[in-house]
Amino acid sequence: MIEKMKSVLLAALVVLSLVQSYFLSYSMPYFEPIQKTESNYVKTEEMGPEEKVENLIFPDQMILHLGEGKHTLFSPDLVFYKEIYKRLQGRKFDGFQRHPYNMMDWNRVRNENQGIELRFSQGVPIALLQRVMQIQADTTFAEEVVDRIWIYTSGDNEDVRSLFFSAKGDIVYEATRADLTVQDVKQHLVFGEGWMPYHSADGKIYLPDEPIEMVQATLPYQTFTSEQMQRNLFLDPSTTRMIQEKDGSEIFTDGKRSLQVKQDQKWMIFSDPIARADNKNDLSDNVLSAVQFVNQHGGWNGTYRLAIPQHPAEGSEVMFQQYYGAYPIISSDDFRFGHIRLVMQQSVVSGYERSLIHVEDRAESKSIRTLPGGPELEAMIEQYRKNSSYGIEAVFPAYRPVLAEESMSLIPVWAVKLKDGTTDILR
């Protein structure tokens, strides 16, 4: 009896062993991936709010030509600016014809004709502008970058002309089919009646006839830490090593990528070298990828405007200019703040720079400051021209950031954009 039980037990063990061998041989094992590809960045934590590219594309200046040599200017965030821009976004522009730039006497047009001029000072690709305006572009026009849109009433026939100016400065595209009437244009110009008068000697730089008022604000801020950016930008932060520079800067590297954190300016520079490709960079695709990258790696603390540099570095450079209210924040060599810069290669980020500071919405204090206009401002510009090696392309009100231990002050100033693409402050 005992021998029979042993035989049954042995047979059961053999069957159990066969079943176990079957499952080990034919079942699908599951392996947890421990590393993604190099081109895949991991979003490890929420740092700042995300933004849509449509909200980053808007004119930095809106000029109303009132006729009889009268002009006024609206800046972003002004209620009249927003209302006019919203109305124009609802209009359709189609049937584009190409003309040489010198087809018109533009000084005569701006002084004698009523109209609205939208300025995108660094230019914006039509493919991106189509995301915010109803533009039906053919193949040629769709590849253009424009820096101005000028809509004005023309001649005794009371026609409306809609012109899009190439950023190259040699071509003008006219929308021969635009659902805008003379009455539409005049309704828009009503917003400029009684507003601050502006004048221009050359049609490029517009200056106020009188002093202007701006809000000076002091804002509390917080700072992203080196460890936060390290976790956010490296696939495996545990593989990085830190190098301490003599000037106090920290460099984190995994052998390929590097993150430099300048503690004195609270500024970071991330580099991910990419081999140059022979294919042409598509600017619109690069901008879309840049927005997505910032969404995942730091976010947007405030209002930003797409500002493509005039003289991009190797690859395709994309910049976003930060605003406070209606005016841009212009940094200096002493303290960098107010913009995000990326270098792109075929929609892949190879360079990323930004401030580690994110200011809060609430202001600790606010006051009104007056900036000079009229002859006093013209004298300041003339003095600057004498001391500058580069010509002035634009003059505009801006904020200069001044950092304290727990807060940042935004000081109203007059700023200039130079022909080499840099900005400076009038003093």
pLDDT tens track for 273-298? 886 766 778 899 999 999 999 999 99
Q: Which two tokens mark 143?
A: 């590849």
| pLDDT average, residue stretch 10-24 | 45
Helix axes 79-89, 182-189, angle to 10 degrees: 160
Lowest mean pLDDT of 25-29, 54-58, 140-144, name the range: 25-29
Q: In the predicted model, is pLDDT for residue 334 greater than 90?
A: no
Q: In the predicted model, is pLDDT for residue 211 greater than 80?
A: yes
Tell me the C-alpha distance between 82 and 257, whole Å: 42
pLDDT on residue 28:
34
| pLDDT average, residue stretch 212-224 | 95
Q: Which amino acid is at 339?
A: H
Tell me the C-alpha distance between 367 and 197, whole Å: 24
Q: In the predicted model, is pLDDT for residue 424 greater than 70?
A: yes
CB 95 within 8 A of CB 177: yes
> Cα dihedral sign for 396, 397, 398, 404?
positive
> Cα dihedral sign for 30, 31, 32, 33?
negative
pLDDT on residue 281:
80
Q: In the predicted model, is pLDDT for residue 310 greater than 50?
A: yes
Q: In the predicted model, is pLDDT for residue 1 greater than 80?
A: no
| pLDDT average, residue stretch 303-331 | 85
pLDDT on residue 41:
42
Tell me the C-alpha distance between 197 and 202, whole Å: 16
Q: What separation in angstroms does the CA of 92 have from each of 59, 144, 177, 282, 332?
A: 18, 18, 8, 26, 41
pLDDT one-digit tens code per residue, 57-96: 999 999 999 999 999 999 999 999 999 999 999 999 999 9
Q: In the predicted model, is pLDDT for residue 311 greater than 50?
A: yes
Q: In the predicted model, is pLDDT for residue 25 greater than 60?
A: no
Q: In the predicted model, is pLDDT for residue 208 greater than 60?
A: yes
Q: In the predicted model, is pLDDT for residue 154 greater than 90?
A: no
The mean pLDDT of the chain is 86
Question: What pTM did the predictor assign?
Answer: 0.85
Q: Is 267 left (phi over 0), alpha (psi -120 to 50) or beta?
A: beta
Q: What DSSP assignment string belongs to 264-301?
A: TTTEEEEE------SSPP-HHHHHHHHHHHHHHTT--S
pLDDT one-digit tens code per residue, 86-142: 999 999 999 999 999 999 999 999 999 999 999 998 899 999 999 999 999 988 899
Banded pLDDT at 24 (limits 50, 70, 90): very low
pLDDT on residue 315:
52
